Amino acid sequence: MNILLRKVRIQDPSSPYHGSVKDILVTDGYIKAVEDHIDHQDARVVEAANLNVSQGWVDIFADFSDPGYEHKESLETGAMAAAAGGFTHVFLVPNTSPAIHSKSQVEYIIEKSRRLPVSLLPIGAITRNTEGKELAEMYDMKLYDAIAFSDGFNAVQSAGLLIKALQYVKAINGVIIQIPDDRSINPGGLMNEGIVSTRLGLPGKPAMAEEIMVARDIKLARYTESRLHLTGISSAKSIEYIRRAKDGGIKVTCSVTPYHLYFTDEDLISYDTNLKVNLPLRTRKDTEALMEAVKDGTIDCIATHHQPHEWDSKTCEFEYAKPGMIGLESCFGVLGQLGLPEEKIISLISGAPRKIFDLPVSTIAAGNTADLTIYKTGEEYVFSESMIRSKSKNTAFTGHTLKGKVIGIVNKDSLYLND
């Protein structure tokens, strides 16, 4: 297949063409030429004003619900949502049925991914069935290309078990991903504990439940000298702990969701169940601290925490609604609306995750694999349900003005374009 991208501005600091406007010819999945002007008789041409291209984007934490919960999402619909959002690689959490806790489940994801335009990379479970009781077959899963290890939305509660996991993956050069959430602290909390929860009459969960886990896990990473990635960070105090850990040379990295940067607990005044997420939305002060941490590099990358739910799981009383929202299609527009510079955004969703998880760097240059995202910056629009390719529609961003549009992706010798 031949694909010709005309007059695209290249956003790739590792490329000799960084910042320049070029034509890019892709043939059979590889970049054949990068020149000022290219003519090709038998190529699909992508051409529009103000197009940009970067290395393909990477989401490190998403739930595609397959196998077991295909009424929420499937690998096929999840891949379409990822492509619409500009992502060429997505890490899939193991919270499926059966859980991704053995090599056969890892193989299932990878084999089904071969037919899709997006590379789906399974995260192997740390414990069997993500129940936090006994270690899963991490070595076997690594041999079958599990990208990292995590119990997904179920944080490992036992410090002793997490130490064993950190020690185990060190020998196989693995990374542990953990949502910092101590579930023993007010497990019935529905939102952040504070003034707003009191006003709304909803039971709150204190930020301390996150911060205690962050502090504990950092100490475990220091003890084992292993690699730990904390995702879904939402508290200013957590940022403080992570900043100190990095200064101390501990191998810890972290990510934040777009919705934790955009919304605060004050937005829950509407009782919108799409804003019920875990970790919960925090205060404005916390959100400001997160933005500062993104800008100064304490936060390494963005993770969408794409978590689809069917209509019944969200259209109900707040108490009974399932936590989580989808986020692949809206991610880029949210980051643009927050005012982050283009180069910073691309680093957060491409360069940094590739570095942390040892993914190939597909520099935009002749002879390299074509793993590309095509997008426009600066264009404002109202995010609508028609832009959602996910099987589920549970997002609080519908109706909000976002900035920056994804045009499409080139990956695995295929071209996906948004309508």
How is 358-409 classified by DSSP, letter by letter?
T-----SSTTSB--EEEEEEEEEEE--GGG--SS----S-TT-EEEEEEEEE
Is the pTM higher than 0.85?
yes
Q: CA 52, CA 147: separation in Å to the nearest integer?
A: 28
Q: CA 292, CA 414: separation in Å to the nearest integer?
A: 38
Domain ranges of the chain: 56-356
Q: Give residue 152's identity as a one-letter amino acid code.
A: G
The whole-number pLDDT of residue 410 equals 98
Distance of CA 408 to the CA centre of its chain: 18
Q: What is the pLDDT of residues 96-113, one digit of tens each?
A: 999 999 999 999 999 999
Instruction: For residues 346-368, give the mean pLDDT.
Output: 96
Instruction: For residues 112-139, give the mean pLDDT.
Output: 97
Residue with tokens 């078990």: 161
Report the relative pairing of strands 21-27 and 30-35 from DSSP bridges: antiparallel
Contact predicate 359/89, CB 8 Å: yes
Instruction: For residues 12-19, give the mean pLDDT.
Output: 96
Q: What percent of the chain has pLDDT over 70?
A: 100
Q: CA 64, CA 53: separation in Å to the nearest integer?
A: 26
Question: Among positive and negative, which fits the CA dihedral 84, 90, 95, 97?
Answer: positive
Instruction: For residues 315-329, give the mean pLDDT.
Output: 97
Instruction: For residues 138-152, give the mean pLDDT.
Output: 97
Q: What is the pLDDT of residues 385-413, one digit of tens each?
A: 999 999 999 999 999 999 999 999 999 99
Instruction: For residues 249-278, give the mean pLDDT.
Output: 97
Report the relative pairing of strands 191-192 and 175-178 from DSSP bridges: unpaired
56-356, CATH topology level: TIM Barrel (3.20.20)
> CA separation (Å) from 336 to 12, 80, 213, 305, 352?
18, 22, 31, 18, 18
Q: CA 208, CA 216: separation in Å to the nearest integer?
A: 12
Contact predicate 125/150, CB 8 Å: yes
Q: Both tokens of residue 419?
A: 């309508």
The whole-number pLDDT of residue 219 equals 98
Above 90 in pLDDT, residue 292?
yes
Q: CA 370, CA 380: separation in Å to the nearest integer?
A: 28
The whole-number pLDDT of residue 419 equals 81
Report the relative pairing of strands 414-417 and 401-411 from DSSP bridges: antiparallel
Closest to 229 (Cα-Cα) out of 93, 379, 339, 129: 93
pLDDT band at 41 (very low <50, low <70, confident <90, very high): confident
